[in-house]
Structure 1
Amino acid sequence: MRKFTSIVLLILFNWLFHQTALAQNEKTVVVPLPSVDDFSKGNDGWSFGLGFGIEYESAYEGSDEFGFEVQPAGAVQWRNGNDTFYWAGEALGWRGLRSDTWLLEAAIAFDEGREEGDSDDGYLNGLGDQEEGTEIVLQARRALDDNWRNWLISRIVTGDNGNLGLFGIGHRFGVQNDGTGSDLSFVVVFHDSEYANNGFGITAAQSIASGLDETQLSGGLRSFALDYTYRYYLNNNWQIFGEAFYERFSSEIENSPIARSNFEAEVSVGFIYLF
């Protein structure tokens, strides 16, 4: 009897494992990249994910202060075939798959800016608070092989605070086609002088108020960056995600008095419930 029960349990376990593998290999997302939020589960129409993430990150760009912060996560999405319109946090946008190899995206987003109080140690005192800015984000990914194992990425950000562009390459780990697993991208980032000075420049008035040296930056190379994303379904509704981000600044930014560190970093983990 025990032997029979063991055989039944073994068959049941193998069946469940096989069904899980089939579910993971079924393509239910527009592109199988963990770094692209897709809550549609293969269905057209509305989808909604809501959750939160715990982030450990730099207090501001160039800061050597780190801290924890709880942030909302998720999005409202409407899918029609290979096109998805979404509202995620402070971004409203569209993404679409073309010819199975091009993922195009356009969004309007808001940059929260920087406040003097972001530095607990007072390193931003006298620099004033930066106002929120509106940004237009245009992005394209080009698959280099079948099933989006490797891809090229480019992004242009233009808005109230200047212009930024990045170019790089990405790789997806795992065999899942449902948007779970993990991926890693490496990019080179450029900015114009307006964007550079908005983050790391110091005007004459700010210099007098803060005691920091007046600093004017030129455009050009900003940084090199790595971004790792992980996503996994705990069950049909609950999803766990994680991200690790590292950005190494160029020598010009390092020389700014605002940059007390030559890098920015962030690690986050969170949960999303899919309705």
Structure 2
Amino acid sequence: MQKSSIELSCRCNLFTSITLGSIFLALPVSSLAQDQYTHAISVASIADHTKGDGFVPSFGANLKYSPVFDGSKEYGIEVQGGGALQYRSGKNLFFLEGFNIDGAELGWRSMVNTNWLVQAGVRHETVLPSGDLEAGNIEGIPHRGSAVFGFVEGNYLFGNNNRSWLTGRLSAGPSDFGYRVKISVGHTFVSSSRRSLDLLAYTTFGDEEQFDRYFGISAAESLSSGYNQTDFDGGYRSSGVALLFRQNLFRNMQLVAKVGVEAYGDEIEKSALVTETTDVTGGLSLLWCF
């Protein structure tokens, strides 16, 4: 992900994450009349801006505190635009989410019954852009380009008012991308027409190609950079926790705050690119829906 000119390099610490989260969750909010519409998606952690059939565009701004790339000890604060375009037809929701190139998704999701949400689509990610490598003080490693890959995801809702869920996502692409798997479990502590608060824990896995694409150092790169060549076996990648808060400020405006911690496994730690084995992130987004 290419960083904007508004960037601050600093070291990660848990106190910073907790402080950011406390500030986000303590922000004043305005009252909102009860929403008279029924959303197509009844999972609080997955955005549904629709109020019936048809198109709903949304635009906003994002403030993010995160490593300059996964596994880096150098951190940055980034400000960028954001948004989504959703189209609803009955129980089906088609979406383009993330107007920035990195992390953009195009796909479909639906509540196929009261307990199951499924979604599928394609996602685009930039892999180790040169600007991020420079910000992370990594030299001699070229930009890895972009990754376009497909994903399929199933969410099973259970518990009181379906406030808990178990999710599995499989992402797969070309041979140089490989595949990765993310399994998560979460619970919604607050859920209303005005706000929601979700806590989730997850673990991720990948094959050798996936690890090589994002963390590997080839023989040629080892010669040009001086870093040791990395050979991965695949398997366990990481585990983490995240806290997500949504608040409707006005009828068409939503505030989203998120903090998270992710710890990498021993296989990922083998890479010289990974200078910090625990990532801490914090984010704040303001979104207008039309």
1:257 and 1:46 map into 2 onto residues whose CA distance is: 46
Q: Structure 1 122/46 Cα, relative in aligned 2: closer, same or farther at 3 Å? A: closer
Contact map agreement 2:62 2:284 (CA 8 A) in 1: yes
1:179 and 1:234 map into 2 onto residues whose CA distance is: 8
1:229 is the counterpart of 2:244:
yes
Quote the offset at 1:237 in angstroms. Answer: 1.2
State the one-letter code of the partner of 1:31: I
2:151 and 2:84 map into 1 onto residues whose CA distance is: 17
Quote the offset at 1:188 in angstroms. Answer: 1.3
State TM-score, norm by structure 2: 0.82
Quote the offset at 1:123 in angstroms. Answer: 3.2
Contact map agreement 1:103 1:141 (CA 8 A) in 2: yes
Quote the offset at 1:179 in angstroms. Answer: 7.3
Q: Which residue of 2 aligns with 1:183?
A: 198
Q: Structure 1 138/109 Cα, relative in aligned 2: closer, same or farther at 3 Å? A: same
2:135 and 2:111 map into 1 onto residues whose CA distance is: 46
State the one-letter code of the partner of 1:62: G
State the one-letter code of the partner of 1:208: L
Residue number among 119, 124, 129 corresponding to 2:133 in the alignment: 119
Q: How big is each residue's C-alpha offset from its partner over 1:15-45, in whole Å with a ceiling of 9 and x where there is no partner?
A: xx8x84xx16x6632334332111113x111
Quote the offset at 1:146 in angstroms. Answer: 4.8
Q: How big is each residue's C-alpha offset from its partner over 1:142-180, in whole Å with a ceiling of 9 and x where there is no partner?
A: 01135321011000011131100011211001141x373
Q: Which residue of 2 aligns with 1:34?
A: 44
Q: Which residue of 2 aligns with 1:99?
A: 113
Contact map agreement 2:255 2:285 (CA 8 A) in 1: yes
Q: How big is each residue's C-alpha offset from its partner over 1:219-263, in whole Å with a ceiling of 9 and x where there is no partner?
A: 100010212211111111111111112211001211211100002
1:117 and 1:97 map into 2 onto residues whose CA distance is: 40
Structural mapping, 1:87-166, within 5 Å: 87-89=96-98, 90-120=104-134, 123-160=137-174, 161-166=177-182
2:153 and 2:253 map into 1 onto residues whose CA distance is: 28
SS across alignment from 1:174:
strand
2:119 and 2:285 map into 1 onto residues whose CA distance is: 24
Contact map agreement 1:141 1:151 (CA 8 A) in 2: yes
1:121 and 1:105 map into 2 onto residues whose CA distance is: 35
Quote the offset at 1:78 in angstroms. Answer: 0.6
Q: Structure 1 212/235 Cα, relative in aligned 2: closer, same or farther at 3 Å? A: same
Deviates more, 1:50-59 or 1:241-250: 241-250
> In angstroms, what is the RMSD of aligned CA positions?
1.8
2:164 and 2:45 map into 1 onto residues whose CA distance is: 13
Give me the identity figure in percent.
28
Residue number among 213, 229, 237 corresponding to 1:214 in the alignment: 229
State the one-letter code of the partner of 1:172: T
Quote the offset at 1:265 in angstroms. Answer: 2.6
Q: How big is each residue's C-alpha offset from its partner over 1:112-137, in whole Å with a ceiling of 9 and x where there is no partner?
A: 11123213456321111111111101
State the one-letter code of the partner of 2:46: V
Contact map agreement 1:215 1:256 (CA 8 A) in 2: yes
Q: Which residue of 2 aligns with 1:172?
A: 188
Contact map agreement 2:195 2:247 (CA 8 A) in 1: yes
State TM-score, norm by structure 1: 0.86
Residue number among 60, 63, 67 corresponding to 1:51 in the alignment: 60
Quote the offset at 1:214 in angstroms. Answer: 0.9
Q: Counting helix residues as a fraction of each chain, which structure ranks higher? A: 1
Dislocated runs of 4+, deviation >6 Å: none
Structure 1 gap ranges (5+): 1-16
1:32 and 1:97 map into 2 onto residues whose CA distance is: 8
Contact map agreement 2:168 2:181 (CA 8 A) in 1: yes
Larger radius of gyration: 1
